[in-house]
Structure 1
Amino acid sequence: MEFRIFTEPQQGATYSDLLKVARATEDAGYDGFFRSDHYLRMGSADGLPGPTDAWTTLAGLAVQTSRVRLGTLMTAATFRLPGPLAITVAQVDQMSGGRVEFGIGSGWFEAEHTAYGIPYPALGDRFDMYTEQLEVITGLWTTPLKEKFSYTGKHYQVTDSPALPKPAQRPRPPVIIGGRGAKRTPALAARFADEFNVAFAEAPVASEQFERVDAACRAIGRDPAGMIRSIAQAVCVGWDDAQVARRAAAIGRDVGELKSNGLAGTPAEVVDRLGQWREQTGVSRIYLQVLDLHDLDHLELIAAEVAPQL
């Protein structure tokens, strides 16, 4: 099982904070460092000093790390036009030496749109935009050199694009799609995704969604075995119950709730829970949602005592 660190900087983090976590992630041997793409804090956090842009952050980390995979869970399709987004991600992939993974979703948090003047269409329109963005972005990346790309959709039109720059990874960076939609999401994943992610769900819910994605793959003649299954879970690990309780308190969470809805406990407890997840869902990759970005010892503990056993 591959372990990746997943951060939520909109809750309150500077670029310097994220760089420290990314470097600790790399030094500890994790496979990747990912971040959310949000412009407004959630819950009771004050969000200070304010949001950082996901792709600006990843561009900086691309040149200040050397090994870890870098990406988003998930870039919001509502935030950016597909052509400029394709250019940005390709450039960051070049800057990183080919370490970018592109997670993209339809966008869902209405308050952050109204807070920063971003249009927030109805759900059906957002999903149509999401689909068209994937068609445009992957089309631009995979168009052969010296050929042009054109596209006519309801929301986006592209005419005679030189389809440059190309990402370092060919034919394109891996695409990550996630969510719990029963029909359109699995169908979209079957067409475009290299990885499907289910975040903050119980194992039976995740397993059911993975099966829908597998069925959507088979429906278009794609082998489901080529799709990576991943989950994202909040994490809180300690050497003993007292340390687990302190770490849970630091992020404003209840230990019992984290044990039910996340990954919490001693290393042995978390290893056992992850083993159950793997058996029940077939996941091969986990994104550990780390909410206290100043507790780097937490990352080291998981890397030393949990990851090697899986």
Structure 2
Amino acid sequence: MDLRIFTEPQQGATYDTLLTVAKATEDLGFDAFFRSDHYVKMGSVDGLPGPTDAWITLAGLARETKRIRLGTLMTAGTFRLPGVLAIQVAQVDQMSGGRIELGLGAGWFEEEHQAYGIPFPKERVARLEEQLAIVTGLWATDPGKTFDFHGTYYDLTDSPALPKPVQSRIPVLIGGHGATRTPRLAGQYADEFNMPFASIQDSERQFGRVRAAAEAAGRGTDALTYSNALVVCVGKDDAEVARRAAAIGREVDELRTNGLAGSPAEVVDKIGRYAEIGSRRVYLQLLDLSDLDHLELISSQVQSQLS
């Protein structure tokens, strides 16, 4: 089971804070550092000092880390034109030496679009399908050849399809709870399907839909890696769990139900139950980025039991 650290910088984090957490992620043996792609805070936090851009952040981290993989859960398809996104991600992959992964979603948070003047079209999922075809098509085009795409929303003619990433194929992540379109897109385009903030039962049901969609697309039921994203709150004892829950404005009982909370043994047991239904990777949503002792505890007493 791979454990990856997943951050939500829109809630309030500087680049330096993210760099500190990313370096701790690497030093403590975690598999990857991922971040969200949002421009406006959510909930009652003040969000200061303001947002950081996902791909600018990852470009910086690509030069300041050596081993961990880096990526997004999920890049908002509404924020960037697909041709531009393909260039950005390929460049950051070059900067990292081939450690980048792209989580790409339709975009959903209308408030941030209004706040920064970003169009919020109704047909976001249909646009996402064309975006996936374009981004993956550009990367897959042989050097010296050109790429064309003529869709409903995007039109590319004689694209040189450059630059190329270091990796022969940058892993593409698709995720979500949708029962029909999401599995179909994942079955066709994804290397990994991520089920965010979902129960074991709901995850198993959605994994089954994606496996069926992958088989229908001619890829086979085991063509994808299946993963979960879950908030994490681990403590050596009940008092430490309660302190960490309070620091992120959550209740312990709710976290135990909806996330990974409790003692290291409790968390290892729950991760094991996700593994039983086919999950091979867990993105640990770390909400208190100042608590590096939390990361150390997860590394030494949770991750060590899963390797």
Q: TM-score range by the shorter chain?
A: over 0.9
**SS of the counterpart of 2:156?**
strand
Q: Which runs of 5+ in 2 are unaligned?
A: none
What are the equivalent positions in structure 2 for 1:111-130 lying under 5 Å apart?
A: 111-122=111-122, 125-130=123-128
Hey, what's the Cα distance between the residues in 1 that align with 2:4 and 2:86? 24
Which residue number corresponds to residue 156 of structure 1? 154
In structure 2, the residue matched to 1:83 is 83
Verify the 8 A CA contact 2:36 2:74 in the aligned structure 1.
yes
CA distance in 2, matches of 1:71, 1:217: 23
What is the deviation of 1:129?
0.8
- Percent of residue pairs bearing the same amino acid type: 65
Partner SS state of residue 222, structure 2: helix
Q: Does 2:234 match 1:203?
A: no
Matched, 1:59 2:56: no
Letter in 2 for 1:208: R
> Partners in 2 of 1:45 and 1:266 — Cα distance?
27
The alignment partner of 1:39 has SS state of coil
In structure 1, what residue type is equivalent to 2:291? D
Matches within 5 A, 1:65-214: 65-122=65-122, 125-170=123-168, 172-214=169-211
Map Cα deviations across residues 247-266 of structure 1 (whole Å, 9 max, x no partner): 11111110010000000001
Deviation of 1:109 after TM superposition, in Å, equals 0.4
Q: Which runs of 4+ in 1 moved over 2 A?
A: none
CA shift digits 1:228-264 (9 cap, x unpaired): 0000000000100000111111111100100000000
Residue 226 of structure 1 aligns to a residue in which SS? Answer: coil
Whole-angstrom CA distance in 1 between matches of 2:198 and 2:264: 21
Q: Cα deviation per residue 1:266-304 (whole Å; 9 max; x = unaligned)?
A: 10111111111211x210100000000010110111011
1:303 aligns with 2:305: no
The range that moved more, 157-166 or 222-231, is 222-231
* Superposition deviation, residue 218 in structure 1: 1.3
Further displaced range: 145-154 or 213-222: 213-222
Q: How many residues align?
A: 306
Q: What is the match of residue 234 of structure 2?
A: 237
| Counterparts of 2:266 and 2:204, CA distance in 1 | 21
CA distance in 2, matches of 1:227, 1:149: 26
> Which of the numbers 212, 221, 232 marks the counterpart of 2:218?
221
Counterpart CA distance in 2 for 1:51 and 1:271 is 33
The Cα offsets for residues 106-131 of structure 1, whole Å up to 9 and x where unpaired, read as 00000000011011111xx1011101
Task: State the AA in 1 paired with 2:187.
Answer: A
Report the CA distance between 1:70 and its aligned residue: 0.1
Q: CA deviation at 1:226?
A: 2.1
Instruction: Give the structure 1 partner of residue 18 of structure 2.
Output: 18
1:63-121 deviation line (CA, Å, top 9, x unaligned): 00000000000000000001111000000000000000000000000000001101111
One-letter code of the match for 1:282?
Answer: G
Q: Partner of 1:257 in structure 2?
A: 254
* SS class of match (1:169): coil
Amino acid at match of 2:200: A
**Whole-Å Cα distance in 2 between the matches of residues 146 and 68 of structure 1?**
32
Q: Is the 8 A contact 2:214 2:223 kept in 1?
A: no
The CA distance in 1 between the partners of 2:96 and 2:174, in whole Å, is 22
Distance of 1:126 and 1:96 partners within structure 2: 30
Q: How many angstroms apart in 1 are the aligned matches of 2:81 and 2:93?
A: 18
Distance 2:282 2:74 in 1: 15
Distance 1:268 1:135 in 2: 43
Q: Which amino acid aligns with 1:285?
A: R
**1:22-61 equivalent positions in 2, closer than 5 A:** 22-61=22-61
TM-superposed CA distance for 1:219, in Å, is: 1.1
